[in-house]
Amino acid sequence: MALVSTKQILEEARNKGYGVGAYNVNNMEQIQAIMTAAKETQSPVIIQASRGALKYSSFTYLESLMKAAVIENPDIPVAVHLDHGNSLESVVKAINLGFSSVMIDGSLLEDGKTASTYDYNVNVTCSVVKYAHAKGVSVEAEIGTLGGSEDGVGSGKINLTDPKEARRFVSETGIDSLAIAIGTSHGAYKFKGSANLAFDVLKKIRSLIDIPIVLHGASSVPKELTDEVNKYGGRMPAGATGVPISSLQEAIKLGVSKINVDTDGRLAITATIRKVFAEAPEKFDPRDYLGLARTVLTNLIITKMKDFGTAGHAKDYSPISLEDMKKQYASKY
Ligand code: G3H
Ligand code: 13P
Ligand code: ZN
């Protein structure tokens, strides 16, 4: 079994200069698509579940599916990660489910909407680091806030990360990776005009901190997919935009190691299902449309794994177990 921490996956990626996608999941088909893509391209991978995803699946269903992904793919390094944990309690729950990595998003208050203070963020992050590291689990935290709002995650206002504050935050908390705000937003409407990322801020942060950097809100929102959704009866308002792949590749070059993708997967699934319903309205076996959506999603992720440079790196290293991570963390304190 190759369940590993995101610390190992991201440090390896950082050393070799490639990015690793962290793909959000809610159901079996998404998990299977990610793992098929990882196997096909021989990529290490991060599968992540939000609090909303865990609630949607009554926790244990998704837990078992994520464990199945690890069991079925013993040769692929897989991290199972909690996305946007909002409290120590949510993190404890994920760790008890067997997650190897957690995010505590203390840039927002527990409601997941209201921007918090620096001190609040440090306090909640430190409590999570203490708990998680004692279990060998790695911790991602965030400083600065993204735009957009997905299912209650996000304040809606962008507040770019202050590089000096980022340095202080990393040294005061002992986290393993840092999510930063450089102009991205969650969801399908990221930019008013063309994509505009604050690469100067990223460069400055990279020069001041020495842990892997995470980019949330990194879907590319391909026009073919939004067009297809609308062509087959969807009503996505005009103006959907994402982060172009060239910008993500530039961000990877400048030091981003983890790239969070949820929206693109949602679009691929919705476009495919709409197409099947429109073109073959006689079909009513869920496997006819969920199976095809799974294939389309697999191909989308294969392309991302190649574009981010993750492909071919699955066998570069021997997985470090959480038990050994526990010892590594213990020797640090
Ligand atoms: O960051 C937000 C992710 O896209 C997860 O969204 O809370 O709707 O599952 P969700
Ligand atoms: P997207 O909405 O751009 O896919 O971002 C997902 C994300 O950041 C999950 O944490
Ligand atoms: Zn996010």
User: What's the pLDDT tens digit per position in 240-280?
Assistant: 999 999 999 999 999 999 999 999 999 999 999 999 999 99
CA of 320 to the centre of ligand 3 (A): 26
Given a cut of 90, whether residue 213 has pLDDT beyond it is yes
Which range has the worst mean pLDDT, 46-60, 154-168, 213-227?
154-168
- Give the pLDDT score at 153: 54
Q: What is the pLDDT of residues 97-155, one digit of tens each?
A: 999 999 999 999 999 889 899 999 999 999 999 999 999 999 999 999 887 654 445 55
Look over the chain and give the mean of its residue pLDDT values, rounded to a whole number: 95
- Give the pLDDT score at 151: 46
User: For atom 3 of ligand 2, which residue has the closest CA?
Assistant: 217
Domains of the chain: 6-324 (3.20.20.70)
**Which atom, in ligand 2's list, is nearest to the CA of 146?**
8
Contact 242, 284 (CB under 8 A): no
CA distance readout (Å), 43 to 125, 140, 242: 30, 21, 24
- Alpha carbons 5 and 322: distance in angstroms, whole number: 7
Phi, psi dihedral angles at 308 (to 5 degrees)? -80, -10
CA of 138 to the centre of ligand 3 (A): 17
Confidence of residue 65 (pLDDT cuts 50, 70, 90): very high
- Give the pLDDT score at 279: 98
- Give the pLDDT score at 332: 81
Q: Choosing from 83, 162, 262, 264, which is the catalytic residue?
A: 83
**Protein residues with C-beta less than 5 angstroms from the ion ligand 3:** 216
pTM: 0.96
User: For atom 6 of ligand 1, which residue has the closest CA?
Assistant: 150
**Residue 283 C-beta-side C-alpha neighbours within 13 Å:** 16
CA of 324 to the centre of ligand 3 (A): 28
- Alpha carbons 211 and 121: distance in angstroms, whole number: 18
SS3 44: coil
Phi-psi map region of 272: left, alpha, beta (phi>0 left; psi -120 to 50 alpha): alpha
Strands (E), the chain: 20-24, 45-50, 78-85, 101-104, 138-143, 148-150, 153-156, 177-180, 213-215, 256-261
Active site (annotated) includes residue 83: yes
